Amino acid sequence: MARISCVEPGQLMLDACAMPVPVHGEALVRIRRVGICGTDYHIVRGTQPYLTYPRVPGHELAGEIVAAGECSEWRAGMPVCIMPYHSCDTCIACRQGKPNCCTAISVLGVHKDGGLAEYLAIDERYLIAADGLSLDEIAMVEFLAIGRHAVCRSGTVAGERVLIVGAGPIGMATAFFAARSGAEVTVLDGNADRVRLCVDRLGAYRGEVLNTDTADRLAALTDGDFFDCVFDATGNAGAIEAGFAYVAHGGRYVLVSIVTADIRFSDPEFHKREMSVIGSRNATHQDFADVIEVLRARAFPLDAVVSHKLPFADVPEAIWRLMEPGTGVIKALVVL
């Protein structure tokens, strides 16, 4: 079968390898769509903190069952969403019902080879039925689940003022689910088109384009109170540090994105505001299930986010074009 590996930073290679052979409890899945995510761009650039090379990327996956065990509930041809976070089931996080932050977590496409390949053998525990969804919709579930998980972690409720910093796919997902919770959502980003999309299509109340007077504008919009909850989805250390100033007294700051740098903040200001800083990592099975129901209800505007589609064989060259400024890419899907 064919696969695409990132051999080392900057080098993607299309090659052939043996078909995976499922063991007991696994199903053989034909991969049909792969969403390209910020993590994948970081892998190519060499800035993903949890990864060793070589690695087959790909964790936003839509597939179809090819074969499963005799006693399995899965049958050939069934469409499935693949949960890429594989946990140990025994550590303190898993025992507390938080397998998304398992101490020994293994994420497809990061810690082990992912789905940028024609076939995968997957433990059936990580397959989720996706009947009623298109292949494109199935490939969107993972990143939407991250946004949904972040909003759940935040405790956001109706009527709160919420700020989303960063209008990439994760920020868009977070804005969408925060708006569904009834919050008044403001989206901040340097890209005016993405900000407008969040307001026009994803339920945000207001959009602000990043500028030198951003803090003053946000203060004016909130009568000096700032925001009950701020979400960072930028993947930028400087933006994360700036975001502390946007949190209201008694508010929460949810870090959805991951950076390799240390984050600095003013401890006196942090204590004065008695703010809570919350990490949000990955997503849970419940997040995936809830997102699938949202997509089945056609409540999320798929066409607003899927900006590019590309054939599998084109990925090693095309991914560089997707990373160039001005391409207008939001979410690119690989078609197999």
Which pLDDT score, from 0 to 100, does residue 259 have?
A: 86
The burial of 278, by beta-carbon neighbours within 10 Å (0-12 exposed, 13-18 middle, 19 or more buried), is given as middle
The arithmetic mean of pLDDT across residues 206-224, rounded, is 96
Indicate the range of 37-51, 191-205, 231-245 predicted with least confidence: 37-51
The β-bridge relationship of strands 227-232 and 161-165 is: parallel
**Which residue has tokens 């997040």?**
287
- The domain locations on the chain are 2-131+301-335, 146-279
The token pair at 286 is: 């419940």
User: Which carries the bigger pLDDT value, residue 269 or residue 42?
Assistant: 269
CA distance 113 to 235: 23
Label residue 154 by pLDDT band (50, 70, 90). Answer: very high
Q: Is 87 exposed, middle or buried (0-12, 13-18, 19+ CB in 10 A)?
A: buried
> What is the structure's pLDDT at 202?
98
Query: What pLDDT does residue 326 have?
Result: 84
**pTM summary value:** 0.95
Q: What would the CATH number be for the domain defined by 146-279?
A: 3.40.50.720
Count of CB atoms situated within 10 Å of the CB of 144? 28
User: Closest by alpha carbon to 276, among 251, 255, 258?
Assistant: 251
Task: Quickly state the pLDDT bin for 119 (edges 50, 70, 90).
Answer: very high
CB–CB of 58/40 below 8 Å? Answer: yes
**Is the pLDDT assigned to residue 332 strictly greater than 90?**
yes
- Cβ atoms of residues 33 and 165 within 8 Å: no
Q: Is the CB of residue 300 less than 8 Å from the CB of residue 294?
A: yes
Find residue 15's DSSP bridge partners.
3
Closest C-alpha to 296, from 79, 125, 138, 128:
138
Alpha carbon distances (Å) from 181 to 172, 221, 302: 14, 21, 20
Question: Which range is least confidently modeled, 107-111, 209-213, 224-228, 322-326?
Answer: 322-326
The pLDDT of 306-335, averaged and rounded, is: 94
At 47 the pLDDT is 79
Q: What is the mean pLDDT of the chain?
A: 96
Long-range contact set of residues 20-23: C-beta below 8 Å, sequence gap at least 24: 20/119, 20/120, 20/121, 21/121, 22/67, 22/68, 22/69, 22/121, 23/121
Do 208 and 188 touch, CB atoms closer than 8 A? yes
Give the tokens for residue 103. 């101490």
| Distances in whole angstroms, Cα of residue 50 to Cα of each of 55, 150, 320, 334 | 12, 20, 22, 23
Q: Average of pLDDT values for 2-12? A: 95
Handedness of CA 83, 317, 38, 203 (dihedral sign): negative
What's the mean pLDDT in 69-89? 95
Residue 69 predicted with pLDDT over 90: no
91 by Cβ neighbours in 10 Å (0-12 / 13-18 / 19+) ranks as: middle
pLDDT over threshold 90, residue 325: no
On whether the 2-131+301-335 domain is CATH 3.90.180.10, my answer is yes
